[in-house]
């Protein structure tokens, strides 16, 4: 990554364990595609319900050469509580799927264009 991971906590205190978990998941994205330019992750408290607990929102913004991938994850059901690490995992899983799709599209584009078939990973 050309710029270091940016991690922002909104409406909640900074957590070293969550930060370490997110850094590990971001490194996995970088191993998946070495062309990731930047990564900004925002973790926030989306709401609190006295019966169901906290709901978290996680957004990931991946900068790629000439492209940007944005992933947003909110709790699917307000009645279902999930921890912040589970919410981050769901967001990073979606980011991995989108990044793999982008890599595949770039590979097809390079193949159709007649350029060298250098592996993008």
For residue 85, being part of any structural domain is answered with yes
How many folded domains does the chain comprise?
Answer: 1
CATH number assigned to the domain comprising residue 97: 3.30.160.100
For residue 118, being part of any structural domain is answered with no
120 vs 27: CA distance, rounded Å? 16
47 vs 29: CA distance, rounded Å? 28
- Mind listing the pLDDT tens digit of every residue in the chain (121 residues)? 788 999 999 999 999 999 999 999 999 999 999 899 999 999 998 876 655 567 899 999 999 999 999 999 987 655 566 889 999 999 999 999 999 999 998 888 776 765 444 555 4
For residue 120, being part of any structural domain is answered with no
Tell me which residue range forms the domain holding 55.
6-113
55 vs 17: CA distance, rounded Å? 18
For residue 89, being part of any structural domain is answered with yes
């Amino acid at each position: 990554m050309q710029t270091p991971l940016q991690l922002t906590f909104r409406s909640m205190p900074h957590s070293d364990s969550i930060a370490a978990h997110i850094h590990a998941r971001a490194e996995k994205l970088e191993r998946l595609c070495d062309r990731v330019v930047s990564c900004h992750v925002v973790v926030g408290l989306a709401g609190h319900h006295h019966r169901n607990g906290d709901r978290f929102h996680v957004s990931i913004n991946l900068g790629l050469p000439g492209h940007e991938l944005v992933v947003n994850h909110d709790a699917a059901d307000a009645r279902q509580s999930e921890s912040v690490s589970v919410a981050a995992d769901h967001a990073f899983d979606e980011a991995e799927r989108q990044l793999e799709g982008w890599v595949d599209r770039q590979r097809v584009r390079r193949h159709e264009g007649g350029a060298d078939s250098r592996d993008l990973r």
